[in-house]
A and B are shown apart, each in its own frame.
Chain A
Amino acid sequence: MSETESILDQIAEAPADHYRILKISDLDGDRLLELSQFMHLSLSKEDMLAVQEIYREWNREPTDVELEVIAQTWSEHCKHRIFGADIEHETNGKKEAVKSLFKTYIYDVSNRIFDRKPGFVLSAFHDNAGFIKLDEKLAICLKAETHNHPSAIEPYAGANTGIGGVVRDILGAGKGAKPIASLDVFCFGAPDTTMDNIKADDVLHPLGIMRGVVRGVRDYGNRMGIPTVSGAIQFDNSYIYNPLVYCGTAGSIPIKYIDKEVGAGMKVIAVGGRTGRDGLHGATFSSAALDTESHESDQQAVQIGNPIEEKKAADFVLAARDADLIEFITDCGAGGYSSAAGEMLEECGGTINLDNVTLKEPGMVSWEIFISESQERMVLAVKEKSMQELQKLADLYETELIVLGDADGSGILKVTHHGETVCQLDCSKLHTAPTRHLSAKWELKTEPVDAPAVDNGGEDLRSLLADFAVVSREPIIREYDHEVQGNTILKPLAGASGDAPQDASVMRVNGSDRLMSMSVSILPEWGKTDPYAMGTACVDECIRQMVASGADPDRLAILDNFCMGNPDAEEELGALVETVKGIAAAAEIYGAPFVSGKDSFYNYFETEEGPVSIPVTILISGMGIVEDVSHVTGSSLRRRDSLIAVIGSTESDLGGSVYARQKGLANATVPGTDMEAAMGLYRTYYEAVKEGLILSAHDVSEGGLAVTLAEAAFSGKAGLEIDLSSLPTGENVSVAAMLFGESPSRLVVEIAPENLERVAAVFEGQPFAPLGRAAGEHSNLKVTRGADVLINEPLDELKSLWKNGLAHYY
Chain B
Amino acid sequence: MEERPRALLLKFPGTNCDEETARALKVVGFSTEIVPISALNTETLDGVSLVMLSGGFSYGDYVMSGRLARLVTEQKIGAGLREFRDNGGYLLGICNGFQILTQLGLLPEGSLVENTSGRFQCQWVKMKKQADSPFLSLLPDEFEFPMAHAEGRLVTMSAEDARKYRESGAAAVTYDQDVNGSFEQIAGLQDETGRVFGMMPHPERFLYREDHYDPDWKNSAPDSAGSGEEKWGSGYYLFRSLYESVTSSN
Contacts and interface: CB of A to CB of B under 8 A. Distances in A.
Contacts of A695: 225
A217 to B, nearest CB: 11
Interface string A215-255: 00010001111000000000000000000000000000000
25 contacts: A222-B57, A223-B14, A223-B57, A224-B16, A225-B17, A307-B57, A308-B14, A308-B57, A311-B14, A311-B16, A312-B13, A396-B36, A396-B39, A479-B122, A483-B122, A484-B20, A484-B55, A484-B205, A486-B202, A486-B204, A489-B211, A491-B213, A496-B216, A638-B215, A640-B222
Contacts of B134: none
Contacts of A495: 213-214
Nearest to A500: B213
A638 B225 contact: yes
Contacts of A483: 122, 146, 148, 202, 205
A493 B20 contact: no
A498 B123 contact: yes
B120 A487 contact: no
B120 A222 contact: yes
B143 interface: no
B121 to A, nearest CB: 6
A510 B123 contact: no
Contact of B122 (A395, A481, A776): A481
Given A483-B202, A486-B207, A634-B215, 18 more contacts: A307-B60, A311-B14, A311-B16, A312-B13, A396-B36, A478-B120, A478-B122, A479-B121, A482-B122, A484-B16, A484-B20, A486-B19, A486-B23, A489-B210, A489-B211, A491-B213, A498-B213, A629-B210
B99 to A, nearest CB: 14
A717 B223 CA distance: 10
A493 B13 CA distance: 30
Contacts of B24: 486
Given A223-B14, A308-B57, A486-B204, A496 B214 contact: yes
B66 interface: no
Interface in A711-761: 717, 752
A222 B223 CA distance: 38
Q: Which of A222, A488, A629, A632 counts the most chain B CB atoms within 10 A?
A: A222
A348 to B, nearest CB: 33
Interface in A604-643: 629-630, 632, 634, 638-641
The 5 nearest A-B residue pairs measured at CB: A225-B16, A486-B20, A308-B60, A494-B213, A481-B148
Given A484-B148, A638-B225, A223 B16 contact: yes
A687 B60 CA distance: 47
A634 B210 CA distance: 12
A763 interface: no
B211 A486 contact: yes
Contact of A493 (B11, B59, B204, B213): B213
Nearest to B11: A315
A648 B24 CA distance: 43
A486 B20 CA distance: 6
A478 B16 contact: no
Interface string B52-84: 000111011000000000000000000000000
Contacts of B146: 483
Interface in B215-250: 215-216, 222-223, 225, 227
A481 B55 CA distance: 12
A484 B17 contact: yes
A572 B13 CA distance: 47
B38 interface: yes
Contacts of B214: 494-496, 498
A496 B39 CA distance: 45
Contacts of A717: 222
A480 interface: yes
A684 interface: no
B119 interface: yes
B239 to A, nearest CB: 12
A196 B122 CA distance: 36
B18 to A, nearest CB: 9
B57 A398 contact: no
B192 to A, nearest CB: 31
Q: Which of B17, B120, B223, B225 counts the most chain A CB atoms within 10 A?
A: B223
A487 B211 CA distance: 7
Interface string B134-173: 0000000000001010000000000000000000000000
A697 to B, nearest CB: 12
Contacts of B56: 225
A485 interface: yes
Contacts of A102: none
A678 B120 CA distance: 40
A396 B227 contact: no
A131 B202 CA distance: 31
B213 A395 contact: no
A306 B13 CA distance: 12
A495 B202 CA distance: 20
Contacts of B11: 315
Interface string A493-526: 1111010000000000010000000000000000
Given A223-B16, A225-B56, A491-B213, A398 B223 contact: no
A323 to B, nearest CB: 14
Given A489-B211, A494-B213, A478 B119 contact: yes
A223 B56 CA distance: 7
Nearest to A502: B213
Nearest to A396: B36
A478 B121 contact: yes
Interface in A306-362: 306-308, 311-312, 315
B248 to A, nearest CB: 27
Nearest to B224: A639
Contacts of B202: 483, 486
B10 to A, nearest CB: 13
Interface in A395-424: 395-398
Interface string B16-37: 1101100110000000000010
A307 B58 CA distance: 11
Q: Which of A222, A486, A639, A640 counts the most chain B CB atoms within 10 A?
A: A486
B20 A487 contact: yes
Contacts of B19: 485-486, 510
A173 to B, nearest CB: 19
Given A397-B36, A489-B211, A495-B214, A752 B225 contact: yes
A312 B20 CA distance: 18
A218 B213 contact: no
A397 to B, nearest CB: 6
A480 B57 CA distance: 14
Contact of A479 (B17, B20, B120, B222): B120
B122 A398 contact: no
A312 B16 CA distance: 10
Nearest to A696: B215
Interface in A671-723: 695, 717
Contacts of A752: 225
B123 A398 contact: no
A646 to B, nearest CB: 20
A311 B148 CA distance: 18
A485 B20 contact: yes
A754 B228 CA distance: 18
Q: Which of B123, B205, B215 counts the most chain A CB atoms within 10 A?
A: B215
B16 to A, nearest CB: 2
